[in-house]
Amino acid sequence: MKLGLSVPLPAATAPCAPLAARLLESLGAAHQVVAFVRGPEATAPELTAAFDVRPACDLPPALAAGEVEVPVHVLADDAHHAHQVRWVTECPGVLVLLSDSLDRLGAALAEAPSLADRLREASAATVAATLDDDPADLAERIAAAAASAPAKARPPARAPADAPKVEVVFVSYNSRGIIDEALRSALAQDHPNLVVTVVDNASADGTAEHVRTSYPEVNLIASSENLGFAGGNNLAMERTDADYVALLNQDAVARRDWITEMLRPAEADPEVAVVGAKMLMRRCPTIFNSTGIAMNRTGFCFDRDIGDRDLDPSPTPEEVLGVCGGAMLIRSSVVREIGGLEESFFMYFEDMDFAWRVWLSGWKIVYAPLAVVIHDWHGDLDDGNEADSEVENREKTERRRILCERNRLQCMFRNYELGTLRKVLPKAWRFDRQRLSWVKAAQARGENPEYFEMVGRAIRDAWKWNLARIGTHLRNRRAIQGRRKVSDAELFRLFGDWEGEPSFLGDLYAICDRHSAAGRPEVRMGKSDTRCLGAGWHGVEPLPERDHGCRWTKETAWVYLRPEDDATTLVVEGAAGPVDVTLRAAVGLLGGGEGTVPRGETATLRFPLERPASAGVVQEIRLDANTFRPCDHGMGPDTRDLGLRIEAIRFESDR
């Protein structure tokens, strides 16, 4: 029998995840089983290596193709199961109820008791279970129920033919070698009323011809000049007859139901103008690239949750200030009302400017966590192309910095109320002067002179560029402010409350996960930490007269070690700041422990393992520590949350 098991699997946070893993093994011993989960990339590696694990949205096409005969849905009392509810009705089969899970899940969704009745009625068979059930016995009962289910099962439901028309737009630039996977993911969307368009920005590598010949079903708009991200998307949005336009980066791959999941909140609420997707890092797909855009009052922006672990958050859409233009849905009528992306931005911050104008005009923006895209974040800086010289990569970095600095100021000039602008601009200027003094001090110390020269030049040029265009800014302000329906005071609820640049994000370039980690028997910060650090680390800091550096942890940090011999002890060398620090360490399922470093002292903490860490096997280690903020202890304006300052982490063996 071919079964499709719709469940959460480790490392999901649902209470039934361990039972689901054992159930998968028991069913897989006697039947062909495909597991359908929210995020295969977040599932325990030993399960993805041993079983066929796919995204939940692949269940309907698997049924249609005959790869699955009977779906088996396991629902527990965790709100994270909400995404499974529609599959129970659209792909009915065996419904496994863990105690009174449906009543509790229905309460979480404000649908109790109707949810339980609706899902029971939709299912071909039901099986009662508890978290303490023997997996082998439960597997037998499920198989018996599934044997009678096929005759009752309905084919998976399809969206109606009169579904909203959506146009997916790519802006390509010299992307001949990377755009195929992105295009294929757009063409494979499960939404039936869809067209795909590529706007080629005068590529010199044959991208336009490649799209024209390899994808005849794709609309191609070939621009004679590089219009940037903003101008390229506007070219398509000005011509569209679709109800919605979906923007997708040329280096992003969308899950099959990306459009469907973004449409849900937009169709449910006519005031929603823009919907953003969950974006995950391609090289480490358990790490967030973006869950929307956060901004503070002096215009500094960053992608929400960037660099953090995707620990299966709530599937419920939420209001956000802005969303990343690399994967978002826009109501076409709103573009006609307020205009498209501002082309003077070229790229960077154009999505934040558009989002700001959307809110000021009385519309809403939401983030839809079930709409998932895998994105090659800053892949242009490390794409493995040997033809890209260090000079070319440095030029790309400088261009990004220049555009971000100038567009941050332009964004504020255009969108703030006059009274707010009069308060914010002097504060922004004072802070930028302080940044320039930091740059000068770093140069005087001889720290990375080329980098700090570039940063200083970008800050100065940003102010000059904007002041030279003050007349244009004033004309644009009149148009934007003339449509204003929401005050700055009302909108400030969505702004961040941090000061200055978001230095608390950590070292995004150092992050890896279980998919990308190499691991070493010992990590020395700044010397042997490449492809060993997960989320939760700040940038490397030098240590005088040593050949390695140190890094502060955040509240939670991950590291990947691979012992050369069977290891019995985890060793952490670290120092505390102005507070006592208690560090809790967990080495996968092998054990760990807790130790304290007194304030201002350096210590070596040793954590004996309950079971040895096998030689040659990469182990994921979680470190939890209490934190402090330097600014709260008279240590300057530093607002970072700092845990333990770690120099080295290693495994040791009794041998």
Q: For position 361, which CATH number holds? A: 3.90.550.10
Query: DSSP label at 154?
Result: P
- Residues 196, 337 share a domain: yes
Residue 20: phi and psi, rounded to 5, are -60, -40
pLDDT of residue 575: 96
pLDDT of residue 639: 82
- Residues 585, 563 share a domain: yes
Tell me: the pLDDT tens digits for 405-414? 999 999 999 9
pLDDT surpassing 80 at residue 122? no
| Mean pLDDT, range 134-140, rounded to an integer | 91
CB atoms within 10 A of CB 157: 12
* DSSP H helical ranges for 298-417: 332-338, 350-360, 390-415
Q: Which amino acid is at 324?
A: C
- Residues 397, 283 share a domain: no
**How far apart, in whole angstroms, are the C-alpha atoms of residue 316 and residue 466?**
39
pLDDT of residue 148: 83
Q: From residue 169, give the alpha-carbon distance in Å to each of 139, 145, 187.
A: 45, 45, 11
Tell me: the pLDDT tens digits for 200-248? 999 999 999 999 999 999 999 999 999 999 999 999 999 999 999 999 9
Reported as a pLDDT band with limits 50, 70 and 90, residue 108 is low
pLDDT surpassing 90 at residue 381? no
Residue 174: name the closest of 145, 200, 156 by CA.
Answer: 200
**Is 491 within 8 Å of 263 (Cβ atoms)?**
no
pLDDT surpassing 50 at residue 380? no
Residue 576 lies inside a defined structural domain of this protein: yes
**How far apart, in whole angstroms, are the C-alpha atoms of residue 106 and residue 88?**
14
pLDDT of residue 385: 43
- Residues 402, 481 share a domain: yes
Residue 433 lies inside a defined structural domain of this protein: yes
Least confident interval from 390-404, 471-485, 516-530: 390-404
Q: What is the mean pLDDT of the chain?
A: 89
Residue 160 lies inside a defined structural domain of this protein: no
Diameter of the chain by CA atoms? 78
pLDDT surpassing 60 at residue 277? yes
Residue 569: in which H helix or E strand, if any? strand 567-575
pLDDT of residue 384: 42
- Residues 69, 34 share a domain: yes
| Mean pLDDT, range 129-139, rounded to an integer | 87
Least confident interval from 16-30, 66-80, 418-432, 457-471: 66-80
Tell me: the pLDDT tens digits for 338-375? 999 999 998 899 999 999 999 999 999 999 999 999 99
pLDDT surpassing 90 at residue 3? yes
pLDDT surpassing 70 at residue 101? no
Residue 498: name the closest of 641, 313, 352, 358 by CA.
Answer: 641
**How far apart, in whole angstroms, are the C-alpha atoms of residue 461 and residue 464?**
5
Tell me: the pLDDT tens digits for 34-72? 999 888 888 887 788 889 999 988 998 898 889 999 999
- Residues 510, 499 share a domain: no
**How far apart, in whole angstroms, are the C-alpha atoms of residue 116 and residue 119?**
5
pLDDT surpassing 80 at residue 382? no
**How far apart, in whole angstroms, are the C-alpha atoms of residue 58 and residue 70?**
14
Residue 138 lies inside a defined structural domain of this protein: yes
Q: From residue 49, give the alpha-carbon distance in Å to each of 54, 209, 380, 614.
A: 12, 39, 30, 18
Reported as a pLDDT band with limits 50, 70 and 90, residue 327 is very high
Residue 33: in which H helix or E strand, if any? strand 32-37
- Residues 98, 59 share a domain: yes
Q: Which amino acid is at 524?
A: R
**How far apart, in whole angstroms, are the C-alpha atoms of residue 356 and residue 147?**
55
Write down which residue in 503, 533, 566 finishes a domain. 503
Tell me the β-bridge partners of 288.
280
Tokens of 410: 């332009």
Residue count (the chain): 655
- Residues 477, 579 share a domain: no
pLDDT of residue 615: 93
CB atoms within 10 A of CB 472: 14
Tell me: the pLDDT tens digits for 297-317? 999 999 999 999 988 677 889
Residue 558 lies inside a defined structural domain of this protein: yes
Give residue for tokens 């006519």: 270
pLDDT surpassing 90 at residue 601? yes
At residue 584's C-alpha, the angle toward residues 306 and 606, to 5°, is: 125
At residue 61's C-alpha, the angle toward residues 12 and 135, to 5°, is: 40
| Mean pLDDT, range 21-36, rounded to an integer | 91
Tokens of 118: 């609706």
pLDDT of residue 387: 43
Residue 152 lies inside a defined structural domain of this protein: no
Tokens of 313: 């958050």
CA 85 from centre of chain: 23
pLDDT surpassing 90 at residue 96? no
Reported as a pLDDT band with limits 50, 70 and 90, residue 118 is confident
Which position has the higher pLDDT, 637 or 624? Answer: 624
Looking at the structure of the chain, the number of domains it has is 4
Residue 278: name the closest of 309, 234, 241 by CA.
Answer: 309
pLDDT of residue 114: 67
Write down which residue in 147, 175, 207 finishes a domain. 147
Question: End-to-end distance of the chain based on CA atoms, in angstroms?
Answer: 49
CB within 8 A of 212, min separation 6: which ones? 220
Reported as a pLDDT band with limits 50, 70 and 90, residue 602 is very high
Residue 153 lies inside a defined structural domain of this protein: no
**Is 645 within 8 Å of 574 (Cβ atoms)?**
yes
pLDDT surpassing 80 at residue 14? no
- Residues 284, 217 share a domain: yes
Burial 91-118 (b: 16+ CB within 10 A, else e): bbbbbbbbeebbebbbebbebeeebbeb
pLDDT of residue 624: 97
Q: Is the Cα dihedral 612, 615, 620, 625 positive or negative? A: positive
Tell me: the pLDDT tens digits for 554-600? 999 999 999 999 999 999 999 999 999 999 999 987 899 999 999 99
- Residues 416, 302 share a domain: no
Residue 159 lies inside a defined structural domain of this protein: no
| Mean pLDDT, range 414-424, rounded to an integer | 95
In 62-184, beta strands by DSSP E: 70-75, 94-98, 125-129, 166-172
- Residues 434, 338 share a domain: no
Share of the chain above pLDDT 70, in %: 92
| Mean pLDDT, range 260-287, rounded to an integer | 95
Write down which residue in 477, 503, 529 finishes a domain. 503
pLDDT surpassing 90 at residue 9? no
pLDDT of residue 78: 63
Domain hosting 38: range is: 2-147
**Is 165 within 8 Å of 187 (Cβ atoms)?**
no
- Residues 294, 370 share a domain: yes
